Amino acid sequence: MADCFRYRRHVGLEVALAALRGYLGRPVARGGTRRTGSPIDDLVAAARADRISAVLRPYLEALA
């Protein structure tokens, strides 16, 4: 999901925002697929790894 914001110029900002809305709206998976259990924490960790946390933060604050 964080890759959508990393490549937002290629896929478009509307696609990246739709992916973020879809990500935040989905239920938390069970069965050990998530490490922290919080989808926002997982997303922030992925954004830090992709070095786009500063780009993603305003959109995340507006939607969460």
Domain boundaries in the chain? 2-63
pLDDT at residue 4 is higher than 90: yes
pLDDT in tens, 35-64: 556 889 989 999 999 999 999 999 999 987
Q: Which residues contact 57 (CB under 8 A, 6 or more apart)?
A: 47
pLDDT of residue 35: 54
Q: Which residues contact 46 (CB under 8 A, 6 or more apart)?
A: 1, 2
Q: Determine whether 33 is exposed, middle or buried from the number of CB atoms within 10 Å of its CB (0-12, 13-18, 19+).
A: exposed
Cα-Cα-Cα-Cα torsion 59, 49, 26, 4, nearest 10 degrees, comes to 60
pLDDT in tens, 9-45: 999 999 999 999 999 887 766 655 545 568 899 899 9
